Amino acid sequence: MKRLAFRMKVFPGMEEEYQKRHDAIWPELSALLKETGISNYSIFLDSRDGSLFGVLQVADAMKMDELPQHPIMKKWWTYMKDIMDTNADHSPVSIPLQEVFYLP
């Protein structure tokens, strides 16, 4: 299993809406993530500045490259684009983070 971490940003004042949308995550999106081999996926919020910190495990990190092409993923990104920083294709601006310490 490979552990990945990344940073994103929610717009000011949209923290509750971000939480609400994730509380009601679409079953087909959850299924897609699990089918891709993703597990132990968490997103944390720093409410001081709207920074989001995501961490997940994936069986095969190369499978992550397939997600942006999937219609459900694209639909989710479009759904989320009004409340967070996104790229031109509506994917979230996501900055990979380097692991510097791990205590198993």
Q: Which residues are catalytic?
A: 22
Tokens describing residue 44: 């944390």
Residue with tokens 């009004």: 82
CB-based contact 72:28 (threshold 8 Å) = yes
Reported as type and span, the H/E element at residue 2 is strand 2-9
The helix-helix angle for 71-80 and 27-35 (nearest 10°) equals: 130
